[in-house]
Amino acid sequence: MSNIVLYAFPGACPRVTANALEEIGVSFDYYTVNIRADANHSAEYLALNRKGKVPALSMDGKIMTENAAILAYLDKAYPRAGLLPHADDMFEDNQALVDLVWCSATLHPMIRQVRAPQKFTVGDPADVQTDGMKKFAKEAAFMSERLAGGKWWYGDRWSIVDVYVYWNYSTAAKGGFPLKDYPVLVDHAARVRARPSFQRTLARELAAVKEHDLPIDPAVL
């Protein structure tokens, strides 16, 4: 077993962390936590990560959680990979962290409203989903405007933020969000998916789906 283990589930947000590790080029193990079977709340996994969520990253036996924090750490640990942009000015340099937290703390909850509204209410989830769609439409318009002037989130430079942004809008689309109405995002998605590190990430997910006979249509990954 590698000294780096990513606890993840195919198609879920750990895809971003897996892509970061693939981009770095480091050896790691992909450990599937079947959240569809509530394995993330098993005694075994809770002993590892009391939050009962994925991702969790084990580095030499030490556990780190929360996507934004993991990605910021990996950027510092492997600076040559260029996961995030940097600047001499401290305020400007912190902007990449701002964007990571925006992806995880602002966009991700909206995506859960769109993709799994039933988890937010004991009543009719339709209103929850409608609210999520409305909120995310504003963010999708902002993302389209941001990406219209350049190839990537930071212009000509790819970063792991591109993958996190992609994960959010592509997951919203799986919940019925009309991504086709945002051609800039559709084009951005094609560029993200064409990157070799993403293709290797997707191959890991497909292998996990097959190995564990997961109830996921590979076409939606």
CATH 3.40.30.10 domain residues, the chain: 4-82+197-220
Which residues is 73 bridged to in the sheet?
A: none
**CA separation for the pair 30, 6 (Å, rounded):** 5
The whole-number pLDDT of residue 2 equals 72
Phi and psi of 138, rounded to 5°? Answer: -65, -40
Alpha-carbon distance of 33 to 10, in angstroms, equals: 9
Query: What is the fold, at CATH topology level, of the domain defined by 4-82+197-220?
Result: Glutaredoxin (3.40.30)
Q: For every one of its 221 residues, what pLDDT tens digit does the chain have, with 9 covering 90 and above?
A: 579 999 999 999 999 999 999 999 999 999 999 999 999 999 999 999 999 999 999 999 999 999 999 999 999 999 999 999 999 999 999 999 999 999 999 999 999 999 999 999 999 999 999 999 999 999 999 999 999 988 999 999 999 999 999 999 999 999 999 999 999 999 999 999 999 999 999 999 999 999 999 988 887 78
Q: Is 207 left (phi over 0), alpha (psi -120 to 50) or beta?
A: alpha
**Chain region(s) in the chain for CATH 1.20.1050.10:** 90-195
Handedness of CA 87, 76, 55, 162 (dihedral sign): positive
What's the CATH architecture for 90-195? Answer: Up-down Bundle (1.20)
